[in-house]
Structure 1
Amino acid sequence: MRLSTRYLNSSLRVMLLLTLFIAGMSYVVSGGATPDDDNNSLADYRATIDGKTIAGVKKNVSSLTWSDKSDTLFSTINKPATIIELTKQGQLLRSIPLDFIRDLETIEFIGDDTFVISDESDYSIYVITLNAQSQVNIIKKLKLDLYETPTNDGFEGLAWSREKETFWFFKEKRPIGIYKVTGLLNNDNLTIGKDNTLQQQLNVKDISGAEFNARKNSLLILSHESRVLKEVKIDGEVIGVMTLTEGHHGLARTIQQAEGIAMDNQGSLFMVAEPNLFYRFTSDAAQ
């Protein structure tokens, strides 16, 4: 009887260790703690456009933003530096080459004809206007002094809160950096600070795109290496997770290199991925 008890206890220990190992691996694969389905803000999203090739774009698509003025999307091609406008079905409307940027990586619609873009090669940030005639004017240029040597792991994500008049700039990796900027659109009171609270809570391998969700006062943060989209509160609390691999959220194939994320006023999510792929995700719950 003593032998049977020892055997039972050993079996229970093995089962417990196996359970903990599986849970740990799930944590790592998902990029950290995940909410359950009932509390997952992204659980109901399904791909309604799944990896459509953007005709007229060969490669290097990067970043995405939605304009409430035109109800269209704007993306970037990093080399040669080009802004492209897309329909919400992923059709190319126009291309606007830029001759003042070497490595265009982020774009964010601010309002009217105003956008903020950045140059990954030297951490330069530009406030520009882009009108319907494809005329581009530089309103302001700012170079963030991050006390780091510019690399190819510069700003990959940019989010903007219109209500808070706050930007979040996301350095891709080595290491990941999150910078909170206010006063960029004004002529004074510019403040730049590292958002350590958010950064310490965010467990992903890299950051390849970002979007502010004004409905929930939250950030959508995209990681192509972790193959995940996370929705987090400003303090870093994870409220939603979308796994970007085959079989999840209606995806026929894994999104290999997701590079940009945007949300429209209906709650639809849009993504672009290298080299020239377009995705749309919709949720009845988000309408």
Structure 2
Amino acid sequence: MRTVRFFSLRRSWPWLAFAFVLVVAAVLTYTQQWLGQAKYWADEDNFDQTERDASIWLPGYRPVIQAKPLKDLEDDETSDLTYNPDTKTLFTVTGKEPLLVELSLEGDVLRRIALIGFSNPEGVAMLSNGNMAITDERRRTLSIFKLGPVALELRAIDTREFDLGYADSGNKGFEGIAWDPAQQRLLLGKERAPTAMFSWSSDGTSGLEGKMEPLPSNELYMRNISALSVDPRTGHSLVLSAQSKLLLELDEHGQPVSFISLWGGMNGLHDSIPRAEGVAIDEDGTIYMVSEPNLFYVFRKDKNADPL
């Protein structure tokens, strides 16, 4: 019996070692995440009131709409969000059934646009002059187009498509996309493996210039990137992570400024946001968010809010 156990253990030790490595990697990942957030918290104290007033300053935000269901989208999985300043409406995309959905600022569904020829749309952004962009994670493409005011379908073949590369990324491709008018570029966020941000020069219409360039992403301390948005007032970026339950503000140089936790009991949230997949900010600084499967949130600045 002892001999049998010896050989059984010898055969299984590679699997035990592999399991041990996975556990250690998971612990290190979570440790790095929480240490990173602790660093954000400590760094916030270095900003004086003038600097805070010149930023988005997320600790002052509180939810005014929480977990409102988006009608008839519970089976479609909403992903990403963008704000259209011309129509004062929002747009989201859905992955299970490829749709582009127009929403009111209160989270009411106004229009459903069928995305013909798209596979897994994950990112959406308003550009300039009425142009929009959609990233398709499975096809690894970025599509730029103009959407008519009453259009009910959009065909991929009628858009201008660009290859995002990372052919082996599978379901870990580009989810975040945002238009940065001040720096004339598109910001792109790769979900994970690796979690990273990129920029691509553009005039915000139908063209992209040069090639996609990596941005410093070492201080994100996020398990994934779900969505991106750019504040039209400050030029600062919002980076959303569903797995880390975190919304992070970066300045125009990509340095962390402030953050807000999306766990229940924090920052006025009754319950944790299940899986935050989209974020947008308007010209007044109001922040909008969507979570899978179909939940809608609105955050506004409360100057008297306690940052905890």
Give yes or no for the alignment of 1:193 onto 2:193: no
1:120-131 matches, within 5 Å, as 120-131=137-148
Which structure 2 residue ranges, 5 or more long, are not aligned?
Answer: 1-30, 304-308
Compute the RMSD of aligned alpha carbons: 2.3
Q: Is the 8 A contact 2:144 2:206 kept in 1?
A: no
Which structure 1 residue ranges, 5 or more long, are not aligned?
Answer: 1-23
CA distance in 2, matches of 1:235, 1:177: 15
**Number of the residue aligned with 1:8:** none
Q: How far has the Cα of 1:153 moved from its partner?
A: 0.9
CA distance in 1, matches of 2:124, 2:39: 28
Q: Which residue of 196, 202, 205 corresponds with 1:177?
A: 196
**Number of the residue aligned with 1:103:** 120
1:85-96 matches, within 5 Å, as 85-96=102-113
Give yes or no for the alignment of 1:145 onto 2:177: no
Q: How far has the Cα of 1:188 moved from its partner?
A: 6.8
Q: How far has the Cα of 1:166 moved from its partner?
A: 0.3
User: What secondary structure is seen at the aligned counterpart in 1 of 2:35?
Assistant: helix
CA distance in 1, matches of 2:164, 2:238: 23
Q: How far has the Cα of 1:30 moved from its partner?
A: 2.8
Give yes or no for the alignment of 1:161 onto 2:180: yes
CA distance in 1, matches of 2:111, 2:287: 21
Q: How far has the Cα of 1:83 moved from its partner?
A: 0.3
Q: How far has the Cα of 1:163 moved from its partner?
A: 2.5
CA distance in 2, matches of 1:110, 1:183: 9
AA in 1 matched with 2:202: G
CA distance in 2, matches of 1:115, 1:180: 17
The 1:26/1:156 distance shift into structure 2, 3 A limit, reads closer
User: What secondary structure is seen at the aligned counterpart in 2 of 1:43?
Assistant: helix
Give yes or no for the alignment of 1:54 onto 2:52: no
Q: Is the 8 A contact 1:64 1:261 kept in 2?
A: yes
Q: Is the 8 A contact 2:176 2:189 kept in 1?
A: yes
CA distance in 2, matches of 1:161, 1:201: 20
User: Higher mean Cα deviation, 42-51 or 178-187?
Assistant: 178-187
**Number of the residue aligned with 2:226:** 208
The 1:201/1:284 distance shift into structure 2, 3 A limit, reads same
Q: How far has the Cα of 1:158 moved from its partner?
A: 0.7
The 1:238/1:116 distance shift into structure 2, 3 A limit, reads same
Q: How far has the Cα of 1:25 moved from its partner?
A: 8.6
Q: Is the 8 A contact 1:31 1:205 kept in 2?
A: no
Give yes or no for the alignment of 1:67 onto 2:87: no
Q: How far has the Cα of 1:127 moved from its partner?
A: 0.3
The 1:187/1:220 distance shift into structure 2, 3 A limit, reads closer
Q: Is the 8 A contact 1:116 1:126 kept in 2?
A: yes
